[in-house]
Every structure is written in C-alpha cells, then in structure tokens.
Amino acid sequence: MSTRSNITIRPARLSDLIHLTRLDLAANSNHPLIALSFPYPFLATKLFLERLQYCFARPERYHFLIATLTSSTPLSELDSVVGFGAEKNDSGCGEGEVVGFLMWNEGEAKDEGWDWETRLPKGTDAKLWKHYTKVMGDDPLRIPDSVISRLPSTTERDRFVNHGTEMEVLAVAPVYQRRGIGTLLLHTFIHEVERLGKQETINLRASKNARPLYEKFGWRVANEYRMNLRDWGRHSMYVDYGMVRHGSKSLGEEARL
C-alpha cells in the first residue's frame, strides 16, 4: 500500500510531543548518543522530550511539521527498536497517527538557552557526550564555526552561516520508512521556508544513510565528521555530515513525489 495518498502534513500540538520523542528515538536508534549513552530507555525519553518541550515553547524560533497517516496499522515496530511502547495519537485509533516529523530553527544566533551536557539525566554516559561534541562540534545538532572558517572564499563563508535556517530533525517511524514520507516532509519544509523568505541558506547534520536523500534536494556536503567509538564497543567508524543548501533550487525530477 502506498501511504502518500493517506498522509496529512500539519503543525505540531503539545499533545504530540511524547509521540515525537519516541518516534525520533526509534528512527535514530543507531546514533551513538542514543544507542550507547543511556543505561535505561526512559532516560533518553526524558532528555529528548525536554528538548522538544523547550523548542515547542518558542514558536518564534522553532517550527514543526507533523506527518500523520489515516490508517489502522499500529506502529508496533517502535516497541522492538528501542523498547518504548508505541502509542496512538490523541485523535484515536485509525485517524491521524503520527508517522514522521520535521523540526527546524530560524534563530538569528546560537540558542544559548539550551545546553545538552548540563541537562543530561543522572546515569547518562557524560564521557561519550563530551567525546562526541569534541569531535563533531560544540552542539550535536550544529555545524561548527571551524568548518565555516575553512571555506575557500569570503562569499562562501558569508553564505554558509550558523545563524540562518537550520533543520534539526527529520524522523520517520521505521515501519514507514522508504515510502515517500520523508520526501513529502522535505518538500513541504522547503516550500514553507521559501514562503517565509528564509531561503538563503539551510544547514543540517546528516547520517550516512540520509545523505543521498538530502543531496536530491540540493544540499551538498560541507564537512565530514568521523568518530572512533572503540571505547564503547563499536569497531566501525561513526560518520556524520554537515550539509548546506543555498537559495531557491529546482527540486529536480528525482526528488518529486
């Protein structure tokens, strides 16, 4: 079954946040900060829910797009991925089930009101978080200024800034991935950003698996991050990308629904 005809994109409601938290953790369960740093799943839920609550309370800066599916199919896969029970949204079984979301930041400068490391729940592996931010940048969601300073031209540095639009989260429930939901969210996001006149630069951080999708929409890699996690039992290098999209670009046939 194709889900595209059954997908509705809408703004977030306060009642969505616990669902979005669980969905985000499930969709990104392989990320080292999620998979390796919390001895109990509820600690991850606590921290990431606090983050979404913080962002939701600042609508002048943070924006959400929610993808809901008109279907009776349960998101049971959320249970097996990270150990959290899947819940129906407040609209009830079979109507408006949340299957994905996107959040972006239109701040004029770095948000000094949120610091991940000072908010880590007791029991979290703070050593891993410090290692991650040392290698990947001072914020898990932000492209470091050191990347900008290495760009070859003043014009390029002026365009690639951390003070413009920044996409922080794109997450689709694992059971519904590769069905066009992420593509639909990105289409809607880009058109919304352009409608608001915030179209000069859009920054994001991408995993290796997500990189091809963003490249179809005009993002390019500005920096590659590689982190050794042998001390945490992983022998393969973790790779992440800082990506940037400039101006209004054609979405291209490969990115169309």
Measured from the Cβ of residue 172, the count of other Cβ atoms closer than 10 Å reads: 23
- pLDDT value at residue 122: 94
- Classify residue 158: in a domain, yes or no: yes
Number of domains in the chain: 1
Q: Tell me, yes or no, whether 193 lies in a domain.
A: yes
For residues 12 and 89, is the Cβ–Cβ distance under 8 A?
A: no
Residue 79 confidence (pLDDT): 38
Query: What is the CA angle 149-150-153, rounded to 5?
Result: 85
Report if residue 230 sits inside a domain: no
Q: Note the pLDDT of residue 190.
A: 93
Q: What angle do CA 14, 24, 81 make, to 5 degrees?
A: 130
Q: What per-residue confidence (pLDDT) applies to 150?
A: 58
Q: Is residue 26 part of a domain?
A: yes
Residues of the chain predicted below pLDDT 70: 1-5, 71-95, 107-111, 138-163, 198-200, 247-257
Question: Cα–Cα distance between 225 and 218 in angstroms, integer?
Answer: 20
pLDDT score for 147? 55
- Establish if 238 belongs to a structural domain: no
Q: What is the pTM of this model?
A: 0.79
Give which of 213, 25, 193 is closest to 101, Cα–Cα.
25
| pLDDT (0 to 100) of residue 108 | 60
First to last CA, the chain: 15
Determine, yes or no, domain membership for 127: yes
Q: Answer yes or no: is 97 within a domain.
A: yes
For residue 227, the Cα-to-chain-centroid distance in whole angstroms is: 19
Range of the domain at 101: 4-203
Q: What is the model's pLDDT at position 205?
A: 92
Q: Is residue 178 part of a domain?
A: yes
Q: Give the whole-angstrom CA distance, residue 121 versus residue 107.
A: 26
CATH code of the domain in which 103 resides: 3.40.630.30
For the beta carbon of residue 127, count every other beta carbon within 10 angstroms: 11
pLDDT on residue 81: 35
Q: What sign has the CA pseudo-torsion 181, 70, 81, 90?
A: positive
